[in-house]
């Protein structure tokens, strides 16, 4: 694993405005909504403006102003080997030299599908796409086509991308018809999405008893990562599997974050529960845009051209993304001890926090600045976002970069060293949380 480590001397991070990043942000705001291509990057939740990143290597990134940060964002999870790992960079260079896209099948796509199936046996057939959002919306379409039903059930705090039917909110814990949580989402679309609290199995039993014959799919993050890290309660995933199987409902695990992050085989291996369909992304692209969905053969054979459920994509199975993903997955498969090591690094960070509720699963963790325990969206929402913002700013000013939201996950990587963790804990003490 030493091949993934990269030792650097850290620069003092400039406090206050970063002139080059600020100028880049102002320029971006003239041509890009909010100055960013994904909302959380705007840093509105933590104040100020984002540092614009110029480069990354190992466990660090460098901004336009020359500041070097220890990075626990890791592109929101995909960079499990760190920034610019040699196997991935070499694979992308080799693939790019042969062409960037063909609009035709390649042998590497088949190898990728076989690789995914070897790690996730529940994915008997697999379709590659270009993002996690695309994987989730396609899996839901497949479930509807297979069952002939229209409604889906999701859970508060679980995020499955920005497709219309998944951008919904609900009331205070009881099942409701979905209401749009974004302008531009038709109410007639959102009404087919039912929402319940995460980790509440009795609520699911009650809803399925009442409306089960209209529900095509239940979709969830088996380990939530988009309300901060929230693990499933004991027996929760098993209960969902039992309920959905009895009602003929397709169970979809959105493992875009947890897939290949928690272990080889993702959360369904950790918890021993096999879904009908699985969505993957992030790590399987090695830092390039990619997604995949797959599962039971009889469901996936409903996908065009074999069946009537249409789904397509010009850049699906893009040779650069597939090359990067295969390089990263092959490295992980050959170095399974990476998982134990990066989980141990995250555990050291978890134990260093004082006066903060910390949820951790493997190498994913979130400090919640509020009362614990945090088991669902209602309890996560009680966290103090202003205290988190002060923590984030203090860490950033001292050269440690964290996700700019109270309700996101930090990640460790194979590039982080013991010294990196020690340095981070020292900074935490300076900021007053350790």
Query: Which positions are catalytic?
Result: 159, 254, 282
In the sheet that 193-196 helps form, which strands lie side by side, from edge to edge? 125-129, 291-295, 277-281, 250-254, 215-220, 151-155, 193-196, 176-177
Q: What are the start-end ranges of the E strands in 167-244?
A: 168-169, 176-177, 179-180, 193-196, 215-220
Here the tokens at position 346 are: 């995250």
Here the tokens at position 41 are: 């990057």
Please, what is the angle between helix 201-211 and helix 236-247, to 10°?
A: 10
Residues 211, 194 contacting (CB under 8 angstroms): yes
Residues in CB range of 293: below 8 A, 6 or more apart: 126, 127, 129, 135, 136, 138, 139, 142, 277, 278, 279, 280
Give me the residues paired with residue 169 across strands.
179
| 379 preceded by a cis bond (ω within 30 of 0) | no
Here the tokens at position 274 are: 């096999």
- Residue 9: how many other CB atoms lie within 10 Å: 5
Cα→Cα distances 203→176, 195, 236, 282, 374, Å: 11, 10, 12, 31, 18
d(CA 3, CA 14): 30
């Amino acid at each position: 694993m030493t091949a993934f480590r990269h030792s650097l001397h850290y620069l003092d991070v400039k406090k206050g405005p970063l002139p080059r990043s600020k100028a880049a942000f102002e320029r971006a705001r003239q041509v890009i909504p909010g100055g960013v291509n994904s909302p959380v990057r705007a840093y509105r939740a933590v104040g100020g403006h984002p540092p614009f990143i110029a480069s990354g290597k190992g466990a660090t990134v460098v901004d336009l102003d020359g500041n070097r940060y220890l990075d626990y964002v890791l592109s929101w999870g995909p960079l499990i080997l760190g920034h610019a790992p040699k196997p991935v960079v070499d694979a992308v260079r080799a693939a790019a030299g042969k062409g960037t896209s063909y609009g035709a099948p390649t042998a590497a796509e088949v190898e990728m599908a076989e690789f995914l199936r070897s790690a996730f046996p529940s994915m008997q057939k697999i379709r590659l796409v270009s993002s996690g959002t695309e994987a989730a919306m396609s899996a839901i379409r497949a479930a509807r086509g297979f069952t002939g039903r229209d409604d889906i059930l999701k859970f508060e705090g679980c995020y499955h991308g920005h497709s219309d039917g998944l951008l919904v909110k609900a009331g205070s814990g009881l099942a409701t018809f979905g209401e749009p949580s974004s302008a531009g989402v038709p109410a007639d679309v959102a009404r087919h999405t039912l929402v319940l609290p995460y980790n509440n199995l009795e609520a699911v039993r009650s809803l399925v008893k009442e409306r089960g014959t209209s529900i095509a799919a239940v979709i969830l993050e088996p380990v939530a990562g988009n309300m901060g890290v929230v693990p499933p309660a004991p027996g929760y995933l098993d209960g969902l599997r039992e309920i959905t199987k009895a009602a003929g409902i397709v169970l979809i695990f959105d493992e875009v974050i947890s897939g290949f992050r928690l272990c080889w085989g993702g959360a369904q291996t950790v918890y021993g529960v096999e879904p009908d369909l699985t969505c993957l992304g992030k790590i399987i692209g090695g830092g390039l845009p990619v997604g995949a969905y797959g599962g039971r053969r009889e469901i996936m054979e409903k996908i065009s051209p074999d069946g009537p459920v249409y789904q397509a994509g010009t850049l699906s199975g893009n040779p650069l993304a597939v090359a990067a993903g295969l390089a990263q997955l092959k490295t992980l498969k050959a170095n399974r001890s990476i998982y134990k090591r990066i989980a141990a690094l995250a555990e050291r960070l978890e134990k260093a926090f004082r006066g903060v509720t910390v949820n951790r699963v493997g190498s994913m963790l979130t400090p919640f600045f509020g009362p614990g325990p945090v088991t669902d969206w209602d309890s996560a929402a009680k966290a103090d976002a202003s205290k988190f913002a002060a923590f984030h700013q203090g860490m950033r000013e001292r050269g440690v970069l964290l996700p700019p939201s109270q309700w996101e996950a930090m990640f460790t990587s194979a590039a982080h060293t013991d010294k990196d963790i020690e340095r981070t804990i020292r900074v935490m003490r300076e900021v007053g949380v350790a």
